[in-house]
Chain A
Amino acid sequence: MTTGSDKTDLSPALAAGVSVSARRGPWKRVFQGLVASPTAMISAGLLLLIVVATLLAPVYAKHVSGTDPFRSGLSARIKIDGKPTPVMQQSTEGLGLGVTPIGPTWGAQYILGADGQGRDVAARMLYGGQNSLLIASAATLICLFFAAVIGITAGYAGGPVDSVLSNLIDMIWAFPVYLLAISLSIVMIGKSYSFGPFEISSGSLIVPILIIGLVYVPYVARPIRGRVMAINNSEFVMAARGLGIRRWKILFRHILPNVSTTLIVFAPMLMALNIVTESSLSFLSVGVQPPNASWGTILQDGQTLLYSRPWVSLAPGLAIMVTVLLLNLFGDVLRDVLDPKSARGR
């Protein structure tokens, strides 16, 4: 009983000369889109390099610079051109009082100089990088998780649940982000907590991770909620309801997969944002606490040495700039590949 296929009705893909192996699933297309972009590949590669470098921090500290970046080296001496030189030297600036750490030696030890406590800046940079990246990634995951839960619940359930959640989100968002972060940090820092079997020691990284993760939840939850509502009202969800598919199935098979793209697009952006936020908080002494290092704390250390030993401030700033730049470049390509509005041959 066939009525004949549509002979004048060529699939536009075929008509345009694209090969039939263009039959690709949505995720494969995303992957191929990323691989095809030199920007995405280069930035991803460089980011990977940075991560690996920070992971090699112990190796560097032990074999290259030979110093312990966590111990003050106030009385240390190193060899420069064969002559032993103290790391902290008599200051020649101003009134000649106090001590100034040595500047970049461009050698293996203290390649970028020492900080106010005589520690090797380069080694601390690598260790600090670990923490900065760790905090940013963990905070991103926390943020995405909570934003997804809240956004999806509010968007799908609607009604009073949505009202309550939306108002809560709006209220938190009305609190200026930085002030909220600083406030929470001040209150929670320097103390240890225990919830049953879990114990969070004072000065743990979990505190900044939680705070940075939570303050940006409204920023992500609102668009997620919007997207869920849009999908809920879309034709194919209506079609699914018309077919008698149950609500839970609709949520998991139809809504979630289509919201996941929005979440993924947020990831690199959030990471970049979190790196900057962490460095700002640590700069104000309300982020990562000593003796832990992060790029932000190094910047804090470098404040007093800004005019005499600028490299202590220059290095972490450049590191942050490069990392954020790479994340943004990668994120742009990711968004182009995932965003349904971008022009695609169809």
Chain B
Amino acid sequence: MKDLQAVETTTAPILSIRDLSVSFLGARNSWNRVIEGLSFDVNPGETVALVGESGSGKSVTSLSVMGLLDPTTSRLEGSIRLAGHDVLNLDEAGMIRHIRGQAAAMIFQEPMTSLHPIYRVGDQIIEALTSHRAMPKAEARAQAIALLERVRIPNAARRMEDYPHAFSGGMRQRVMIAMALASRPKLLIADEPTTALDVTVQGEILDLLKDLQAEYGMAMLFITHDMGVVAEMADRTVVMLRGRWVEQGPTAEIFARPSQPYTKALLASVPVLGSMKGEAAPLRFPLVDMQTGEARPPAPLQSSPDLSAPILDVRHLVTRFDVHGGLFNRRVARVHAVENVSFSIFPGETLSLVGESGCGKSTTGRSIIRLNNRSTGSVIMSGDEVFALRPEAMRQKRREIQMIPQDPLASMNPRMTVGDALVEPFLEHRMGREAEARDKATRLIEQVGLERAMLDRYPHEFSGGQRQRVCIARALMLDPKLIIADESVSALDVSVKAQVVNLLMDIQDRFGIAFLFISHDIAVVERVSHRIAVMYMGEIVEIGPRAEIMERPRHAYTRQLIGAVTVPDPARRHLRRNQQINELKTPIRPLDFTPPVRRYEQVAPGHLVMVEN
């Protein structure tokens, strides 16, 4: 049963939402309800997490509190009380005077686009400081520098004069936090602040937020879809589904004893780092019935890899891109995206390529199938040297290696129906006649869990998870031997992610297809891989069987990566990682750079580590 815990406190909550309903004006002048009957409190100094998947209404809630929704296309009912003000009855002037940048401040999901690109960072912070009270210039500047230092930006005084594009994503988010703190708000609303950041950077930002909260004594409303972040950050949690709240209470309670089926399903879909200890083979996610909340244990994999001869053998792969810039677009530097990468994959096996943005994992995948023309090295696929094939032979070879991309919508022609998109490659490779193509497409679309009527629809009519299934079906049309899954599940919701991962493992089980699984999400990687390779700055720093890498990581970067992952264990609420602030480097090098020669050391059977110089 839904359980609204009565909180006995002597101080009033800083934020109190009661029966909030939000509707948006849609097509043909109809109003669509996106939030219904939402109620929860945030007490002073505590962190409440609002967790849910896409469409749950969590972001809309935060925008309603700040009054940032468009009044002509949105209708709000219910009550929101923030620091003593009745938010829904304040006009725009009132919101500006009392709420925005005063009692409450907000940071957003996309740090890359949330700062004004044409004003200096220092000026933007000063603007936040002076928006509500007058301050002499010198004092404002000093306070701005102090704020930058407090969010741990090195060289604060000098970086005040920089423009946002000179900062990385993590640094920009720190600047956003500094701007939010300018008014010493009583409530900080954080809308998915780390979702767009790399894992190690996420760890730093979460630590920073915890420290600042303690220092400023402010409450936080933390919006996220990541249960690991919830466990680490939140004192209390509100679980939302399709605009309604399904369960709320202390975080530890929710994790230990979830009472609602949806909560159980959500928790079951989250891969817990370290839960694969002792498992010999990759494991599917358990499926939770939405009605009863019962969990069915995952069926184990039937097949196992054929270790006699590798199906893909990559040796000394190098991919470099030129960087043009400056006033006249000259070549100024080179990106060493993939530097001397070697690995092999056996039939029926899953090798994961794991790393953060800029490490070269996606580029590796694309280089293997020659989607860019900047690679050298050797790629042998079932006996043929891919880089030596002539264009027509290469085209035919593509049947054997297929790719499932990260953004399924972008990778489908918006003007072709799904059916046509599936049939096209089959006919292009002359695998049969039109009728056979249609048959196979129908079979595959049903095997990936969709209905055959969907073949007549256009890509934009599907949801994210459905589109990804369509892309999987399209890849299977050519009977590939190896599938490269390039961040294929990264953009999906938690529960959908689990289902699609299970689908991929079903395919491997049934067809014996090998997978090159490219991802930054180590927890998922832990579940699906036979072997793991860790990449950093274009090079493989460590490679080996999953159990070895996860339980006995040797390279410093691997350890840092694993340490940064959030674990859905509420006991980690007050954990600090105390990591060095590392600007995530990109492998951009001057034109005359020669890469150093690397040595690898075997520390266990099949487990190789790059020797650090």
Contacts and interface: CB of A to CB of B under 8 A. Distances in A.
A243 B506 contact: no
B30 A244 contact: no
Contacts of B265: 8
Contacts of B462: 11
A238 B493 contact: no
A306 to B, nearest CB: 49
B349 interface: no
Interface in A19-34: 22-23, 25-26
Contacts of B81: none
Contact of B424 (A8, A242, A245): A245
B396 A8 contact: no
B357 interface: no
Contacts of B398: 242-244
B402 A236 contact: no
A63 interface: no
B466 A4 contact: no
Contact of B506 (A3, A23, A26): A3
Contacts of B503: 3
Chain A interface: which size bin? 35 or more
A6 interface: yes
Interface string B381-423: 0000000000000011011001101010011111111000000
Contacts of B412: 236, 239
A159 to B, nearest CB: 12
A3 B424 contact: no
A3 B449 contact: yes
B190 to A, nearest CB: 24
Interface in A220-245: 234-236, 238-245
B499 A345 contact: no
A4 B289 CA distance: 11
A2 B449 contact: yes
The secondary-structure label for the interface of chain A is loop
A4 B288 CA distance: 11
Contact of A6 (B287, B399, B410, B466): B466
A241 to B, nearest CB: 6
Given A242-B369, A243-B474, A244-B399, A12 B502 contact: no
Contacts of A10: 55, 463
Contacts of A12: 55, 463
Contacts of B466: 5-6, 9, 11
A246 interface: yes
Contacts of B415: 26, 257-258
Contacts of A257: 413, 415
Contacts of B460: 346
A241 B456 CA distance: 23
B73 to A, nearest CB: 11
A7 interface: yes
Contact of B402 (A18, A240, A242, A253): A242
Instruction: Please indicate which of the listed interface residues B30, B415, B425, B506 has the most CB atoms of chain A within 10 Å of its own CB.
Output: B415
A255 to B, nearest CB: 10
B30 A17 contact: yes
Interface string B442-471: 000011011100001110111111100000
A151 to B, nearest CB: 19
Given A9-B466, A244-B428, A244-B429, A4 B27 contact: no
Contacts of B463: 6, 9-12
A239 B30 CA distance: 38
Given A12-B55, A17-B30, A243-B478, A23 B456 contact: yes
In the A-B complex, the 3 residue pairs with the smallest Cβ-Cβ separation, listed nearest first, are A244-B398, A235-B410, A239-B411
Interface of A: 1-13, 15-18, 22-23, 25-26, 234-236, 238-246, 249, 253-254, 257-258, 345-346
